[in-house]
Amino acid sequence: EQVEETYIMVKPDGVQRGLVGEIISRFEKKGFKLKALKLFQCPKELAEEHYKDLKAKSFYPKLIDYITSGPVVSMAWEGVGVVASARKLIGSTDPLQAEPGTIRGDLAVQTGRNVIHGSDSPDNGKREVGLWFKEDEICQWTPAQAPWLRE
């Protein structure tokens, strides 16, 4: 089993709506390991680099405006299978299609305000954690509960 990392971000709407604690809590309770966390005003250049694969999309300018419209909460989470599991916890891109019980399914109503980002592959997890965090912002530690989460 491969230990992976994923970049999770509460988007500006999630911060404005007071959903930060609720969202972090879901990853914490699941049993993944938090490695980095910050409230952060994203500069335009970083938003563009993060979403560079979507540059040709019609919604791209609005997406960049949205992500840079207020502070975000940036997180790096680590664990076996964390990338795909986080995507399941998050739910479909369109919150109206997202299953109840998922973050978007429970907390959002529109794609353009879908409250959270999660990396879509282990490679992108690494890329995005490296993009949003400096080396000295990432903590290497062993949670006390580790032996109670995995045998």
Point out which residues bind ligand DAT (CB under 6 A).
54, 59, 63, 93, 111-112, 114, 117, 120
Block residue for tokens 């980095």: 36
Q: Which two tokens stand for residue 108?
A: 């959002």
Q: How far is the CB of 119 from ligand DAT (least distance, A)?
A: 8
Task: Determine if residue 26 is labeled as part of a ligand binding site.
Answer: no
Question: Which of ligand DAT, Mg ion, none binds 146 (CB below 5-8 Å, type-dependent)?
Answer: none
Within residues 98-127, the interface with Mg ion by CB under 5 A covers 120
Longest dimension (CA), the chain: 47
Task: Determine if residue 111 is labeled as part of a ligand binding site.
Answer: no
d(CA 31, CA 98): 22
Task: Determine if residue 124 is labeled as part of a ligand binding site.
Answer: no
| Active-site annotation holds for 117 | yes
d(CA 29, CA 42): 27
Annotated catalytic residue within 117, 125, 132, 133: 117
Q: Report which residue's Cβ sits closest to ligand DAT.
A: 93
Reading across the β-sheet that carries 116-118, which strands appear in turn? 33-40, 72-80, 3-10, 116-118
Residue positions annotated with a catalytic role:
117
